Structures are given as structure tokens and as C-alpha cells.
Amino acid sequence: MESRMQALEKNLQLINNHLDTTARTDPCATFISPHSAASPEDDALPPPGTVIVNVQHQESDEHIETGETDGMAISLVAERDHGYFGPSSNICLMHVIFRAMARLNYSSHAETQSPSNRIQASDPNTVKIAKPNPPATVARDVAPRQEFIGYNYLPPEAETERLIQSYFSNTGTFFPYIHAQSFMETYRQMKQHGFRVTIRRSWLALLNMILAMATACEQGQHSAETQPTAKSDVYFERAQALCREQIFHSTTLETVQFLLLTTQYLQGTQKANQTWINHGLAVNAALSIGLHSSEASAHLPQIEREMRTRTWYGCVVLDRSLSMTYGRPSSIPEYYVKLDLPVLVAGDQCGSRGIAFYNSTITLYKIVGRIMGDLYGHNLRCDELSDVEMVTRIFQLQHELNDWPRSLPSELSLITSSLIAENPFEESPMQRFRIILTLRYLNAQLLLQRPPLSKLLQAANDQAQRLNPVDQVQEKLVEECAQCAEEIISIIHATLAIKDQGRSLLGAWWFTIYYIFNAGLIIFASLVPLSKTETKLDTSNPMWRGKQCLSKAIEALTRIDGDSMLVDRCVKYLQQLLRLTDDWLISAGDGNAAWPGSQGMALTEINSSEVVDLDFLMNMPLMQSIDDFGND
């Protein structure tokens, strides 16, 4: 016993000497106490200024079975995944567009490998998602790297606190399900004890996700040379190392918030499958601790009860948006959503207007959920509406959607592109709220009015059918849909033109990319039925307006400092659609809209790797309704 004690004393002395030496040479560094749990494989010293936190031990996994089969033990996990993307997804819309172009005799150069032939030969709702392998320095692929070891590392205190404040001023304001005051109090207690107190793994994982989200959102406000995605992915991997296994052992409010924030972060990556699966984990974790139930929270303190409510609504909003963009059934039925809307509580950094913004988002996405159910059959693809029934439901839902802006507080009223262009304003939380709410509202309008566009594309080259009065109503709805898409592009274009402030007014850069691309796709789809018509070549020509709108969308994309690969691919694809539109305009003068020649793009060219690899588009946040191009 005496020899063991002497050995322990010797080890303690060595550690204390190391700590004293470090403190003298690097006053910014704080190290853990001798019993802390550092990464076993971490043999290298951390960067100067790194804070090392004493972390709660991981629960044992010895009784957990592992294997190479899928979650249902049916088959081995394949290198390529087959994903279902139903009616509301942009993949489905792209299939409709390609079929319409084939019916309009635009497939003569596409031969056997044209998109139309591929679509007819396979399930139009099932897409094989390629596993992209982009350079690690270019695309956000969230791949494990050597520097991710050291899950209990934090950046220097000043940087950590700056990023925390950045998060609560941005994402934390839009989605206020983490109580800023309580979170900062835990951080200050940890700091006061020199980061040597034992910290909950779930809390430290949540902190790292906050750092990851704050860093990722800053990418759109800095030059590409700063490469903040590399830093954000480091924080992301540390968070996953801390909490990924723990969520299967026990669930708390913190673990649900961790999963929810993880899903939001993944929306800005090329990980569509991870995004969808993490969302499912978040919903099931929320249900397991009763976040959906007022009775389950009744005995809790007010702040905790309120954060449970906000976190549940965060799951609901994300559920509606992912269901819409992936074209899949929602995980949370409408009759599960019974809680009262969030209210202001003590210590809220978002303020009363932030709560009003959050509640406005919640009520809007409740309408989006009803649109998904009534017009898209919950993406089950089991029943198809007649034209009359579809138009009737659209008018009913349109009334509800039109009432939503009237319910907004005056300071959150929707904004127009002309107002932004004519009166550039100073950056403020209220202006950001107004712009983002407007984009979300217009995106909901696109979802509502898109079914007639799909019907019109399916009836392309059938003039007799288009003389039907119901189809004439649908054509009017398609015009309104295109106008909403044009306004989305114009708002973003005008906002980005505001010097030194535009990017920060639009929220996360990946949402901005999604809104632009989605609107551009709608614009092009609305032009396809017009490509065979004889019209005057002037600015009143819808084809001409569509061309101008696509050009504006491309210009706006080039002003976004987001993931350079993602931006470049979206720009390249929209440029291809713009070239097709140019060819249609040239041929419209003599009524001959033959398939574009040497200056046009053949269908096989459009369906290049940028189109087939749809994963990154599907995983674009709020609402990817994008197809499988290569998606929070």
C-alpha cells in the first residue's frame, strides 16, 4: 500500500509541475485536473490557448451489439443509397420537367441515356444518391479528420465567448430553444473553476454544436480564404464524439437540443441521409421525455418548462421543412402539436420580438403542414387529386395562407424587393426578421401553387386539354407561382446589394442558396410550356422576363460567400437553364422552337454529374424541395 501511495504522489507531482510550466509559458491555456478524461489516442499537445475541459465519463457500451447490417438487420449497408423523394421534392419536379421536354420533342439528341428514358425505366420517386468525394478543403462533408481528436478541447476563452454570443445573436434568435442566460451561467461556473469541474457530456456537446453553428453561419460573411468550415467541422466532430453514444443510453432536454442543432447544422452540408436520420432521432428523443405533453412539464420550473415547449416546436418546424424538401411523410402528425405557443421568460436574450418571430414561423409551418397533407397527400403517393378537387383545395389553403401576414405584428410585416432596393436600411434584428419571414412565406406560396405547374407540364403539347376552364385557372395559378419565385430572387438580389450588410440580413448562407435555386427552378419550369409558342421578342414576353430573372439569380449566387463548391454547382446549373431559355427566345421569333443547336444544351448535358448528384441540393435547408442533384 505504501509503495502505491508513493507512486501516486510521484505522478501527481509530475502533473503539477507540467501544469505550472504551462501556466508560465501560456497564460491563456487552462488544463484539466489529473483525473480528467482526455482522448486516449491524443498524443499530441493541443494548439496554444486551447482550453481542456474535465468531461463526465462515457457510460459503458459493453452490452451494445454492433454489426454491419442495417437498422432492421435485413441487408448489408450499400455504398450507394436509394432514397425516396415524393411529390413535394424538387427531384419529383425535375422528373416532371424532363418528361415535359421529352413530349415537346426536345429529346432527339438525348438518345437512350436521356433523363426521360432513365425516369421511365425506374421508380420516379426513388433516386440513387451518389456518395460525393469532394476535396476536403472545398466542400463541407463532415468527414472525420485527425484533428478531431481531443473532444474535451475548447478554443481560447475569448474565441469561445465570441462564438457563443454570435450564436445567440443569430441562430439562437431565430430558434430560441436554448435559454441563453442559463447556458452562460453554466459556462461561467465552469470557467470560474478553471474548467476543472466535471462537465456533463451533453452540455459540452451542445456547446460544441453552438460553436459549430456560429462558425458555419459566419462563412457567408467572410472571404473564402478564411475557410471557417474546417473549424466548424472540428467543433461538430467533437460534439458527436461527446454525445453520439450517450443519446442511446439516456435522454434529457440537452440531448434533444443537441440533436436538433445537429440536424440544423447538417442542412448546410452534403449529408442528406445524416440530416434525415438525425431529425428522426431528435423527434423520438423529444417524444421519449414528453416534450409534446403539457402534463409532463407541468411540475417543472417555468424556464425549463418553456424551453421544453420551444424545443418541441423546433422539432415541429424542422419536421415540416424537411418533409417538404425531401418529399417524405412528416414524423410529427398535426394532432401531436397541442402545446401553447412559446412565451417570454426571464433571461430571454431574444426579447419579445424574437418570440413573436418564432411564433410566426411556427404558425406559418402549421399551414405548410396542411398544404403537405391536402395537396401532396402527406407525400405518401397513394391517391391523386382530380383537377377540380386540387383547385378547390388550393383556394381554401390560399385563403388561410393569405390571412397569415395579417396576423403579424406591425414591426414584423412582410417586405418587398422594391422597398429594399429603393430604401436600403441599416442592419437590425427587425429587418432580418422581416426579410426571413417574407422569404419563408413566399416559399410556402411556391409549395401551394406548384401542383398546377406540375399538371401544366404533364399536359405540355396538348392544346385541347389546356382549353379546359379548370386548366385555364391552373395557368393563372402558375403565373402567380412564377411571380412569387421572381420576388424571392429579387428580394435576395436587392438585399445582397446592400453594401457591407446584405449577407448578414439573410440568415444562414445555405438557406439563401436554397431559396435562390428553388425559385430559379420554378421559373424555368414555368417557361417550358411556353417554349413552343410564337410570341413577340420584347420585355413583355414571359420568356424574356424568365431570362432576366435567371440572370439575376445567378448574379445573386455569386455574391454569396458560402461553400464555394455548392455555389459554383448551383451557378453552373442555372447557367445551363439560362442557355436553354436564350435558345427558346431566339427560336420564338419564327415559331420554330426546335431543340437548341450548337449553342444550346442537350438533355444529356443538363443531366451531367452536377444534376445526377442531387444530394447537396436536397440537403439544403428549409426546404429543399430540390431533386437529386448531387440536402439544414
Least-confidence region, from 125-134, 204-213, 446-455: 125-134
Amino acid at 447: L
Calpha distance 278→284 (Å, rounded): 10
**pLDDT at residue 138 in the model:** 40
Tell which wins on pLDDT, 536 or 311: 311
To which residue does cell 404558425 refer?
363
Which amino acid is present at 467? L
Amino acid in the structure at residue 52: I
Note whether residue 590 is domain-resident: no
Res 28 pLDDT > 50: no
Q: Is residue 263 part of a domain?
A: no
Instruction: Establish if 27 belongs to a structural domain.
Output: yes
**Among 372, 380, 416, 378, CA closest to 397:** 372
With beta carbons less than 8 A apart as the criterion, state whether 577 and 524 touch.
yes
| Residue 259 to residue 262: CA distance in whole angstroms | 5
Q: Among 116-130, 362-376, 509-523, which is the least confidently predicted range? A: 116-130
- Asked whether residue 322 is assigned to any structural domain, the reply reads no
- The neighbouring-strand residues paired with 90 are none
Q: Find the range with the poorest average confidence among 98-102, 304-308, 461-465.
A: 461-465
Q: Please report whether residue 264 resides in a domain.
A: no
Question: What residue type is assigned to position 191 of the chain?
Answer: K
Task: Give the pLDDT band of residue 543 (cuts 50, 70, 90).
Answer: confident
Residue 39 lies in a domain: yes
Measured CA to CA, the distance from residue 580 to residue 608 in angstroms comes to 15
Task: Kindly state whether residue 356 falls inside one of the protein's structural domains.
Answer: no
The string of DSSP letters for 457-525 reads: HHTTT-HHHHTSHHHHHHHHHHHHHHHHHHHHHHHHHHHHTSTTTGGGGS-SHHHHHHHHHHHHHHHHH
Q: Read off the pLDDT of each residue in 382-393 and give the average, rounded to a whole number.
A: 90
- CA diameter of the chain: 102
- Which pLDDT belongs to residue 24? 38
Confidence at residue 328, expressed as pLDDT on a 0 to 100 scale: 93
CB of 208 closer than 8 Å to CB of 180 = no
* Averaged pLDDT for residues 409-433: 86
Evaluate whether 376 touches 387 at the Cβ level (below 8 Å): no
| Residue 421 reports pLDDT greater than 60 | yes
**Banded model confidence at residue 123, pLDDT cuts 50, 70, 90:** low
- What number is the average pLDDT over the span 105-123? 43
**3-state secondary structure at position 614:** strand
SS3 category, 38: coil
pLDDT-wise least confident of 286-295, 486-495, 512-521: 512-521
Q: For all residues of the chain together, what is the average pLDDT?
A: 76
**43 domain residue, yes or no:** yes
- For the cut 70, the answer to whether the pLDDT of residue 283 exceeds it is yes
pLDDT > 90 in the chain, percent? 42
pLDDT at 85: 81
Could you tell me if 597 and 106 are in contact, meaning their C-beta atoms sit under 8 angstroms apart? Answer: no
Better-predicted residue by pLDDT, 224 or 162: 162
Number of domains in the chain: 1
| Beta-carbon contacts of residue 552 (< 8 Å; ≥ 6 apart) | 489, 490, 493
Count the helix, strand and coil residues of the chain and give each as a percent rounded to the nearest 5. Answer: 60, 5, 35
Model pTM? 0.80
- Closest by CA position to 310, among listed 253, 353, 366, 259: 253
Instruction: Return the HEC string of 558-600.
Output: HCCCCCHHHHHHHHHHHHHHHHHHHHHHHHHCCCCCCCCCCCC
| Total residue count of the chain as it appears in this document | 632
More confident residue, 608 or 86: 86
- Nearby residues of 268 by Cβ (< 8 Å), 6 or more positions away: 140, 216, 508, 509, 510, 563, 621, 632
CA distance to 282, 330, 396, 478, per residue, from 325 (Å): 18, 11, 23, 20
Domain enclosing residue 38, as ranges = 12-52
Arithmetic mean of pLDDT, 494-508: 82
Identity at 256, one-letter amino acid code: V
Any residues with CB less than 8 A from the CB of 45 and at least 6 apart, and which?
Answer: none
